[in-house]
Chain A
């Protein structure tokens, strides 16, 4: 019973699970002592987090001069990293919001972890504009608050300010959405535990009882939040692209930027979800909930968005040529053949060429291929932002002011360190919260669990048999 799902569809929960087995499988990793692999990973992540703290403090103490930015290249690795992280932070809300509206049941296996990843990626992204301010303790100047300087307000015509609002809103709404989904699952852990642990989970589960009326409102809330988050997630990277597109720099001021950035964000976000989920499902033994079918579905999204990004690259080249505007033409010629040609071709290869392997079903369903591809996409998308930012700025209108840019150890340290921040948060998350949405998996069990799908198939076979006679 339950809602009607075609039996041709692959089961989303395998291993003949019952409701209580689902609870057991998903809660267990939070209840046992951490494994050796977790401790090792956490140690490495913490060391990197230390690198992040050290290089950030170094930057703030000695100033932005410790980076090799110059008069022409005012944005280097910092803004590259910022856009990269924000892009990665797009998959979670896409999976939980847009796929909820599209009634895609496979989202239930991965939405919780993807949303967590989103929040942590946005947290990493937020560090970069903050450090780049130089005087990070004045960061609150970016908000329009009544002050004693007039009051002197912020400039509401500036896309950088729109970015402040977009990213703050995105972070807050993502956290609310994620936490509201977590509350019933925290209640499940609460009711399984004793002592201090019960008190802690009792506190964070907000006194959830599972009352019918609460569930009804919870579903209503999830649906409206999904409806709000859908245009929100599209708006965030659109506004990030405005940071570039509203300027008058050749190679930046193109109207294709918003859709191109959004597709790129989804592309890189899904790649990061794949990277994390392939490891998580193996380490936490969640292969029955995050199946090859889930991985294949995400690979399809990667193929689609990767191809969209590729088309955008080619369109940019075409428009540069077709516009007849020599500065635009030079910008793209310079990207492909100038001093940063290697970055450009890494970007082209990793984003446009290699993901085409996913046209083959065998490749989409191969975990090793998927994992390698996801790393490729992460690298390719980082280079995309580097190409857009650094190559464009290094060659501006006047050849006399051309310059080159390469990062210092401080900038490299901040980037590597931000990975430490991200993985530290993610590793803590897998220890304290259910990585898969327990209630949502139970909800789809009767329509997408393997034993039920089998039964439905048999039922249809029998039905056809009697009809033929």
Chain B
């Protein structure tokens, strides 16, 4: 190697900020694993659209169980919580790319998403349900075939293919509770597939509608990037402590008006 090249390399090394040589460089294509003792803040992704775990409160900003859980984890780590807004469509890719280090309301636990990220332990469990007018007979999932069905945009819509014969149904994506309720009331659709909190609110507003079927449990958990096992362990420990102290159960009861079920140990 020629001397000028060597000098250039040494000069470059001397001029390089320590941050680039350390862990904090965010522009790297492969984010380095989080080191808990060096953590300055918890950059947590939050999806405020189309989830039952977080939403934008017009006066107080981000709210919901996922936000509470984020605060609880950051508090346990003794660092400030920095919420980074993301969307259902981009959340997993942005976590993997290093835009934030923890995704508070990751997609509900599915084996497909488990190939993309490290799931922490679940902090909430909701049901995916079918709501329809009382007189409509819907005794089984098979009875949805050929029907015009609305689905809550976001994760409920994404999960449909694994829970119902979606290809044999006429599925319409609707953004929120008013749109879903209006579509049902106006008979634009015969049924709607939503999460249990939305179903409770629809049934309270429109007594002519009721829950017809349950399509299974949605386990909700934060997620980390592959390789971030120190952070994963820390998050799981905070969730474990919160569960032991009853905080998680209280948050769940308050948010969803139902108890947090025991994890499904085999």
To the question of whether A and B form a pair in one complex, the answer is: no
Chain B residues near A (Cβ < 8 Å)? none
